[in-house]
Amino acid sequence: MKILLLGDASNLHNTLAVELRREGHSVVVASDGSRWMDTDRDITLRRGSGMLGTARYLGKLALTLPRLRGYDVVQLAGPMFLQLRPEKLRHILSYLRKHNRRVMMTALATDPTYYAACHDGTTYRYSDYRIGGEPSPFTLSREYRERHHADWTLPAVTAYHAHLLEQVDGVVACLWEYYAAYRRYAPRVALSYSGIPIDTDRLVPQRSIDTVPERIRLFIGIQRERTILKGTDRLLAAARRVAARHPDRVELDVVENLPYKQYIGRMAQAHVILDQLYSYTPATNALIGMAQGLVALSGAEPEYYSLIGETANRPIVNVSPLVEGDIERQLEALVERRDRLPAMAAASRAFVVKHNAAPVVASRFVEMWRK
């Protein structure tokens, strides 16, 4: 097939493209490189700042439009697949529908459907925005009150999103959270689950994972604008307390907004990755770490394991924001039982190979497209 992947987030579409090309498909990725991650793409669509940056972006987009036609499948990276206002995105969507055979969407980030599910008090026990029946720390922040809430609830945004769901041929959800949201709020849309593709052929352990380390290296990646939203602030605080109590047995490596390739290299030297407190599902960071033989301290709730049909190998250390002190208890257990790390590392790698290896995820996309 001839495939256009328009937009990207956390290298998902680019990793998918690499695998699809291996399988003989013709694939073009047009994106902003996942912003500071600077991931690979064939067409760069990155919006600069100010009026000049906007003018250049619109000019580049106008020149690029002829290259966005004639595909068997166009897969959009969420509803906001380009850095444009909803009214302009409507025109782009219409153009894509007119000049391509199929237009699909990947649910891979916050959008109005996921946002509604996070706030309804029933879809999830906790989320980025609510913990049990209480607002999350981010929901109490000034950013949420003054900007973030409006980003997803403005009539222009919600109306555009509803229009897009009427126009696309289907939605592919990369996480259980997005799958659950679309199943509840968009029941008429053709929906499938893909998981996040990980290039397990290239991402392999860079150190021995079959020996017990004298000191455990904890790794945590910080995204400046999403620290409170994703609970990274709480994960980091707990990790610092544990490291301070065990300076002879624990190292802590903290990185912030690194380009993708540098980030992967730093991560590969660690033993445990801490990622996303408010998730039900291990996301890109955790899965990349697991592929490299790290133990992931992240989200792995029963709903996720049920969706993927995994009953035997459940290696992710699930931390719950509903349980006070759970992060530190889980970290302390890893420090005290370092002898378990080799087996957990091997199980983590095997888990990703089974459920998230790029060929496995690519086959799910292809199956959805062919249906």
**pTM attached to this predicted model:** 0.95
Question: What pLDDT is stored for residue 205 in this prediction?
Answer: 94
pLDDT(235) > 90: yes
- Whether residue 288 contacts residue 197, with contact meaning beta carbons closer than 8 Å, is answered with no
Q: Under DSSP, is residue 206 helix (H, G, I), strand (E, B) or coil? A: coil
Residues making up the chain, counted from first to last: 371
pLDDT(296) > 80: yes
For residues 277-301, average pLDDT: 96
Give the chain's domains with CATH numbers.
2-197+358-370 (3.40.50.2000), 216-355 (3.40.50.2000)
pLDDT tens track for 99-131: 999 999 999 999 999 999 999 999 999 999 999
What does the alpha-carbon distance between residue 267 and residue 223 come to, in Å, rounded to a whole number? Answer: 15
Question: What pLDDT is stored for residue 225 in this prediction?
Answer: 78
- For residue 143, the tally of other CB atoms under 10 A from its CB is 12
Binning pLDDT at 50, 70 and 90, where does residue 223 land?
confident
Please state whether beta strands 250-256 and 216-222 pair in parallel, antiparallel, or not at all (unpaired). Answer: parallel
Question: What pLDDT is stored for residue 37 in this prediction?
Answer: 82
pLDDT tens track for 148-192: 999 999 999 999 999 999 999 999 999 999 999 999 999 999 999
H or E segment at 53? helix 50-64
User: Which alpha helices (DSSP H) does 73-185 contain, by range?
Assistant: 86-99, 112-119, 142-143, 149-153, 155-167, 176-185
- Whether residue 274 contacts residue 328, with contact meaning beta carbons closer than 8 Å, is answered with no
pLDDT(201) > 90: yes
For residues 78-94, average pLDDT: 96
